[in-house]
Structure 1
Amino acid sequence: MGKKYVESVKLIDRSTLYTPSEAIDLALKTSKAKFDETIELALKLGVDPRHADQQVRGAVVLPHGTGKKVRVLVFAKGAKVEEAQNAGADYVGSDEYVQKIQNENWFDFDVVVATPDMMGIVGRLGRILGPKGLMPNPKSGTVTFDVAKAIEEIKAGKVEYRVDKTSIIHVPIGKKSFEAQKLLENFHVLMEAVVKAKPAAAKGQYLKSVVISSTMGPGIKINSAKVLD
């Protein structure tokens, strides 16, 4: 444990469940690294991700974005290539990018968008993109013919959330350089989306724990009953 981390821990009462506003203020106070740390949520859900009817996955556009420049790779052909380029895609193509990823281990992108007619080609990358959470998916809006809208939303601050094997969702809501109010507004928009995404098959308490932290800072527990307040 570094000296700065130890000092940060002293600012937090481990026995307290904070309001979202209090927790965000603490996350900013305990963010002591010299770089612009990401403010991230870890949501423990009362679901069993081994069952298909208890998967929690989706995407939402944060009103103030994430503070990160997102690089978008689009698989498209024909008129959709120009549409994607005009919308601000960083890379647009087809087989050449499949080969680049397969042969060169190339990953200079953060999000992959594909038109439905390209999924046969993109499917060859399933074993590579899937484990990294980069495979296009209709549920997250990344498999679509409306590539311009998809790109614009991603660039504007769209984030994907997906429960992992341990029933936890990890998702960023901004940067240390953000004003607390902007982080709070991003937090509320994200939490509303996750709460609405509760599977009908999920029983008992849905939000088991909500923890916020900066990249290098300690976790701060939020009162799950107050997340929408």
Structure 2
Amino acid sequence: MKRGKRYAEAAKTVDRSVLYDAPAAISLVKQNASAKFDETIEAHIRTGCDGRHADQQIRGAVVLPHGTGKTVRILVFAKGPKADEAQAAGADYVGAEELIPKIQNEGWLDFDVVVATPDMMGVVGRLGRVLGPKGLMPNPKAGTVTMDVTKAINDIKAGKVEYRLDKTNIIHVPVGKASFAEEQLADNFQTLVDAIIKARPSTVKGAYLKSVTLASTMGPGVKLNVAKLMS
């Protein structure tokens, strides 16, 4: 993959033979986020889990203390009083069956998170082929299938992020923007790491966190000292 001149210059500042502690890594990633837009800073966590086994799946959500820096558009599937509650709580879109053709046939996907009340999951299930691959299916573990739509919406707006294994057993989660203060990024990152350590499946043998890398949207990755994170 061909990289630009800016990336090559930034990559020179990262010593590939060093495992950085979190404050140094965050400082370096922020320094290298020099694009013309406010880059997102992401954590990439390679685990020792085998996601092919149901008892080694990791999926959950955590509210980052300083949010993600991103405005999140929320779609809520609900009816009656729960639909009214979702509107009042600040959901961007609220609906039921009538949204199915709009999403399925017209390809409407102007939302970042989907919340549903349990009674609507039969309806939402029909959208599995569209929402599933995009990671948009509501899930009880992530708190997005719930009767408490107000809490779900408030948490998401406050900076709730979902974490889950991808097919290669890596977790990718945003921890903020390059414009955040280093202390804010450190708080967010530590909150995420603590949640993932707590979510360790009991069946995982050997090293649980194999490697942790922080990177901005356009910048090079910086590897962290996992032993220090776990202590």
Identify the TM-score tier after normalising by the shorter chain.
Answer: over 0.9
Cα displacement (A) at 1:117: 0.4
Moved segments of 4+, more than 3 Å: none
Residue in structure 2 matched with residue 84 of structure 1 by the alignment: 86
Q: Give a deviation string over 1:81-100, Cα, whole Å, max 9, x none.
A: 11001111000000121111
The answer to whether residue 14 in structure 2 is matched with residue 9 in structure 1 is no
TM-score by length of 1: 0.99
1:188–1:228 contact (8 Å) kept in structure 2: no
1:46–1:203 contact (8 Å) kept in structure 2: yes
Residue in structure 2 matched with residue 144 of structure 1 by the alignment: 146
Cα displacement (A) at 1:228: 5.2
Distance 1:214 1:228 in 2: 23
Paired-residue identity, %: 66
1:1-229 alignment, distance < 5 Å: 1-227=3-229
Q: How many aligned positions are there?
A: 229
TM-score by length of 2: 0.98
Q: Give a deviation string over 1:92-145, Cα, whole Å, max 9, x none.
A: 000121111001001100000000000010010011111111000000000000
Residue identity opposite 1:136 in structure 2: P
Distance 2:22 2:88 in 1: 39
Of the structure 1 ranges 213-222 and 91-100, higher mean CA displacement relative to structure 2 is found in: 91-100
Structure 1 unaligned blocks of 5 or more: none
SS in 2 for 1:121: helix
Distance 2:73 2:182 in 1: 26
